[in-house]
C-alpha cells in the first residue's frame, strides 16, 4: 500500500450518504477481477515479445528465458494467448479461494 | 428601487441570472434558448454580470466545465434544450448524484424527429427521472424570480441538487411582458453566501477522490451504492419543504407570491378540474373563468414543481374534485398518454375513491393551445364526469 501524500481531511461533517467521495487511498488492481489467467508454456516460449507488444494493460514482464504476465495487473483478457504465434499461452480458469 | 422593464422570457431569465451573481456561465446556443445565451453574453460584456463566460464547443463540454467549476466552489449557470440537452446527457446524468447545485434553464422544445425548432416540453419531460429538480414557469416574471429562488433551493444543505428552471420555448422565450427586476442588495441578502463545494470538492487543501469506483457485487459496494441512492431520494423529498419555504420568503421580501408546488385555481367549489403545466396555464385560467361564467363548476390545478413530484399537494388538490382532465405538452410513448397524466394516475391510486381522468396532448412543436382548445378540454372533462371517459388521449391540435 502506498502512502498518501497528505493527511486526509476531516470529512466527519459531511453526511455519509451524500455523494461519492473518498479520502483514504485504497488500491484496487485490475488483477482483482480476473476470471482466467494466462499460463506460459516455457518450452514453447521463444521470447519473441508478441505478448509484450499486444498486452492492453502492459503487464508482460521479461524473465530470463520467457515472458509472463504480472498477475496483480493482468485482467485476464486473453489477448496474449490469442496473439502468441507459438501457442505458448493457455488461459486457465481462476478458482474461487 | 426595483427596475421595471418590458422584455421576453429569455431576457427575464438572463436578469434572474444577473441578480444571482454566478461565477461561471458556460453556454452553447440552441433555438429557442439562443437569445438567453446572447443576453448573458451581452451582460458579461457590459459588466452587468461579473462571471467568466465560456463559449465552448458543445453542450457536453458546457456541463463538464460547470461540474469542474462547481467542484472548485463556483456558482454556475447554463441553459439548453432539445437536441442540446440530448448532447449534454452524459454529464447531465452525473450532476445530481455528484450533488452539484448547478442551475440550468431548459427553454423547452419538442423532440425531433420530425425536424422542428419549436416549443414543447418533450425535452424536459424526457429527463424527468434523472434526479434534477424541475420547476415549470407560467410567465416571464416567474422565470426571473424562480431562477433566483433556484439557487437558494439548490444550495440548501439539506438539498444540494441541481435545478432545472423550465420555461416554454416560443410562448415564453419570445413572449414579451412587463417584468420587475429586484435590486441587487436585496437579492444578495436573500441568497446569502454561496458554498457549493463544502461536501465534494476539487481543492488542494482538502484532498479527496471525487466519484471513486463504487458498487459491484461484493464487499461494501452494494450497500454503499444503495446508501447514495437513498440519500439522493431523501434530499429530493427535503427539497419539497425547501421549495415551499423559499417561495414563502420570496413572497414576503419581494411581494410576489407563487404557488411553490401546485397552484389551486378556483378549485374549492369545483366539481372537476383541468391540470396544466407551464406557459399554457394562462389560457387555461381564462377558459376556466369563461366556463365559470356559464355556470360550469370547473377549476384548474397548475403543476409548478414536477421533480420532486409533489404527491401530497397534488393529492390535496385532486381530492376536491370528481374528475380531472390533464393537458400535457409532451408524449409518454410507452403509456399512450402524457407524462403529467401518467403520474397523476399514480397519485389517484391514493384517493379513497376512484375518479375519472382524461389525457389531453397539445402544443407539440410550437402549436398553440388556445382558450378555445381549453374550452373543448373543459367540455370533454365534464363529459368524463358524466361517465364518458375516453380510453385514448385526446390530441388537442389534431384537427387545427
Do residues B369 and B168 touch, judged by C-beta distance below 8 A? no
Do residues B93 and B119 touch, judged by C-beta distance below 8 A? no
Residues of chain B with CATH 3.40.50.970: 3-199+235-254
* Partner-chain contact B200 A23, CB within 8 Å: no
CA dihedral defined by A73, A75, A77, A80, rounded to 10 degrees? 20
ipTM of the prediction = 0.82
**φ/ψ of residue B54, rounded to 5:** -110, 120
Task: Give the CATH class of A1-97.
Answer: alpha beta
Residues of chain B with CATH 3.40.50.920: 262-395
pLDDT in tens, chain B (400 residues): 899 999 999 999 999 999 999 999 999 999 999 999 999 999 999 999 999 999 999 999 999 999 999 999 999 999 999 999 999 999 999 999 999 999 999 999 999 999 999 999 999 999 999 999 999 999 999 999 999 999 999 999 999 999 999 999 999 999 999 999 999 999 999 999 999 999 999 999 998 999 998 998 988 999 999 999 999 999 999 999 999 999 999 999 999 999 999 999 999 999 999 999 999 999 999 999 999 999 999 999 999 999 999 999 999 999 999 999 999 999 999 999 999 999 999 999 999 999 999 999 999 999 999 999 999 999 999 999 999 999 999 999 999 9
**Which of B67, B70, B99 is the best substitution to test chain A (most A C-beta atoms within 10 A)?**
B99
- Chain CA centroid to CA B339, Å: 14
B262-395, CATH topology level: Rossmann fold (3.40.50)
Interface residues on A facing B, Cβ-Cβ cutoff 8 A:
4-6, 8-9, 11, 14-23, 28
A19 → closest Cβ in B97, B205, B213 = B97
What is B3-199+235-254's CATH superfamily? Thiamin diphosphate (ThDP)-binding fold, Pyr/PP domains (3.40.50.970)
Residue for grid cell 399514480: B346
Distance in angstroms (rounded) separating the CA atoms of residues B137 and B282: 11
- Max distance between CA atoms of chain A, in angstroms, equals 60
Residue B241, all three cell numbers: 419543504
pTM recorded for the entire structure: 0.91
Residue for grid cell 485476464: A76
Residue B168, all three cell numbers: 416554454
- Evaluated on CA atoms B168, B173, B178, B179, the torsion sign reads positive
- Evaluated on CA atoms B80, B82, B87, B90, the torsion sign reads positive
* Partner-chain contact B211 A18, CB within 8 Å: no
* Partner-chain contact A14 B206, CB within 8 Å: no
* Partner-chain contact A22 B198, CB within 8 Å: no
Amino acid at each position: 500500500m502506498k502512502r498518501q501524500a497528505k493527511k486526509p481531511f476531516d470529512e466527519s461533517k459531511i453526511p455519509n450518504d451524500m455523494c461519492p467521495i473518498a479520502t483514504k487511498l485504497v488500491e484496487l488492481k485490475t488483477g482483482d477481477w480476473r476470471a482466467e489467467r494466462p499460463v506460459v508454456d516455457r518450452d514453447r516460449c521463444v521470447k519473441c515479445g508478441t505478448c509484450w507488444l499486444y498486452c492492453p494493460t502492459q503487464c508482460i514482464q521479461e524473465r530470463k528465458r520467457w515472458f509472463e504476465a504480472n498477475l496483480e495487473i493482468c485482467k485476464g483478457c486473453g489477448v496474449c494467448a490469442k496473439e502468441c504465434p507459438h501457442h505458448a499461452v493457455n488461459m486457465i480458469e481462476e478458482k474461487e479461494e | 428601487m426595483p427596475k421595471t422593464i418590458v422584455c421576453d422570457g429569455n431576457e427575464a431569465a438572463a436578469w434572474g441570472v444577473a441578480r444571482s451573481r454566478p461565477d461561471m456561465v458556460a453556454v452553447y446556443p440552441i433555438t429557442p434558448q439562443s437569445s438567453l445565451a446572447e443576453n448573458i453574453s451581452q451582460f458579461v460584456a457590459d459588466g452587468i454580470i461579473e462571471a467568466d463566460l465560456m463559449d465552448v464547443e458543445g453542450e457536453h463540454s458546457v456541463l463538464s466545465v460547470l461540474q469542474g467549476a462547481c467542484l472548485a466552489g463556483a456558482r454556475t449557470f447554463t441553459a439548453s434544450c432539445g437536441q442540446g440537452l440530448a448532447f449534454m446527457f452524459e454529464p447531465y446524468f452525473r450532476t445530481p448524484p455528484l450533488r452539484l447545485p448547478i442551475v440550468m434553464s431548459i427553454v423547452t422544445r419538442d423532440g425531433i424527429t420530425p425536424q422542428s425548432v419549436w416549443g414543447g416540453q418533450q425535452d424536459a419531460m424526457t429527463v424527468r427521472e434523472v434526479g434534477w429538480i424541475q420547476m415549470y414557469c407560467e410567465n416571464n416574471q416567474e422565470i426571473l424570480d424562480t431562477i433566483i429562488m433556484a439557487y437558494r433551493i439548490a444550495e440548501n444543505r439539506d438539498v444540494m441538487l441541481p435545478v432545472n428552471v423550465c420555461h416554454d420555448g416560443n410562448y415564453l422565450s419570445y413572449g414579451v411582458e412587463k417584468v420587475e427586476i429586484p435590486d441587487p442588495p436585496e437579492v444578495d441578502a436573500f441568497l446569502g453566501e454561496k458554498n457549493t463545494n463544502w461536501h465534494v470538492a476539487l481543492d488542494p487543501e482538502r484532498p479527496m477522490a471525487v466519484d471513486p469506483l463504487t458498487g459491484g457485487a461484493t464487499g461494501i459496494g452494494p450497500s454503499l451504492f444503495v446508501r447514495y441512492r437513498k440519500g439522493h431520494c431523501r434530499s429530493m423529498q427535503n427539497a419539497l419543504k425547501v421549495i415551499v419555504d423559499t417561495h414563502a420568503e420570496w413572497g414576503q421580501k419581494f411581494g410576489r407570491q407563487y404557488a411553490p408546488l401546485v397552484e389551486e385555481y378556483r378549485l374549492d367549489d369545483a366539481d372537476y378540474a383541468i391540470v396544466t403545466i407551464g406557459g399554457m396555464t394562462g389560457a387555461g385560467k381564462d377558459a376556466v373563468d369563461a366556463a365559470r361564467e356559464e355556470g360550469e363548476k370547473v377549476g384548474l390545478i397548475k403543476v409548478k414543481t414536477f421533480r420532486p413530484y409533489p404527491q401530497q399537494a397534488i393529492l390535496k388538490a385532486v381530492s376536491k374534485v370528481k374528475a380531472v382532465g390533464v393537458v400535457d405538452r409532451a408524449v409518454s410513448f410507452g403509456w399512450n398518454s402524457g407524462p403529467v397524466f401518467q403520474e397523476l394516475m399514480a397519485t389517484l391510486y391514493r384517493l379513497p375513491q376512484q375518479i375519472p381522468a382524461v389525457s389531453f396532448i397539445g402544443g407539440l412543436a410550437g402549436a398553440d393551445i388556445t382558450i378555445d382548445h381549453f374550452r373543448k378540454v373543459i367540455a370533454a372533462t365534464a363529459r368524463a364526469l358524466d361517465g364518458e371517459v375516453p380510453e385514448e388521449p385526446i390530441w388537442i391540435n389534431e384537427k387545427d
